Structure formats: C-alpha cells, structure tokens
C-alpha cells in the first residue's frame, strides 16, 4: 500500500468528492476513479461524469502524448500531475 504525502491526502479530502477528480486535458480526460483514462473527446463526457458523481473538474494543459505512461493508472497520473503542480490545489 502506498502512503500518500500528507499534503496530497489533504488535497484529495478538499475535493467535492474525494473518490473522483476529473482531469481534462487538451485531447483526453481521466477521473481519479478510473472512469476514463486516455485520449477521448474531453468535452461532454468529462462534464457528464463530473456531474454524475459530484466531482470537481481540473483543466490540465497537456496533450495525452505528454502524460501517457505505460501502466500508469488514472490515480497515479493524478498524483504525478499534482506533484508537478499541474493540478494546483490553490485553484478553486
Ligand atoms: Zn470518477
């Protein structure tokens, strides 16, 4: 079991729904829960999932080719983007 940094755990807890956080890139979207993870139409699908589960949405300024990594789950991607401050906890 991975132990998450306290700051990241606090960030997750601050989300509207800590089980879900919808990341919307330029040509992809992914949710913390793994609902999607890959190059898909980011517009309506992401918004619909966020609405369904009461999740927050964050814009990520990267194309899928930039964030793709072998075997990386949506949760791992979320964490790495947070580490890089591409998901900024200070943004509303
Ligand atoms: Zn989700």
Rounded to the nearest angstrom, the distance between the alpha carbon of 70 and the centre of ligand 1 is 21
Average pLDDT over residues 38-46: 79
Q: What is the DSSP string of 29-76?
A: EEETTSS-EES---SHHHHHHHHHHT-EEEE----HHHH--TT--HHH
Contact 63, 28 (CB under 8 A): yes
Sign of CA dihedral 72, 38, 58, 33: negative
CA atoms within 13 A on the CB side of 25: 22
pLDDT single digits (tens) 61-90: 899 998 888 888 999 999 999 998 888 655
Rounded to the nearest angstrom, the distance between the alpha carbon of 11 and the centre of ligand 1 is 16
Average pLDDT over residues 6-10: 92
Rounded to the nearest angstrom, the distance between the alpha carbon of 56 and the centre of ligand 1 is 10
Residue 17, both tokens: 């729904």
What is the rounded CA–CA span in Å between residue 29 and residue 91?
A: 19
Rounded to the nearest angstrom, the distance between the alpha carbon of 21 and the centre of ligand 1 is 6
Rounded to the nearest angstrom, the distance between the alpha carbon of 32 and the centre of ligand 1 is 6
Rounded to the nearest angstrom, the distance between the alpha carbon of 50 and the centre of ligand 1 is 7
Rounded to the nearest angstrom, the distance between the alpha carbon of 48 and the centre of ligand 1 is 10
């Amino acid at each position: 079991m991975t132990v998450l940094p306290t700051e990241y755990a606090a960030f997750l807890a601050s989300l509207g729904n800590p089980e879900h956080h919808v990341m919307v890139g330029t040509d992809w979207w992914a949710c913390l829960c793994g609902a999607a993870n890959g190059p898909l139409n980011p517009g309506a699908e992401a918004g619909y999932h966020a609405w369904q589960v009461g999740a927050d949405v964050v814009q990520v300024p990267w194309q899928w080719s930039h964030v793709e990594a072998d075997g990386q789950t949506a949760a791992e991607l979320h964490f790495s983007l947070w580490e890089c401050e591409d998901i900024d906890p200070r943004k509303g």
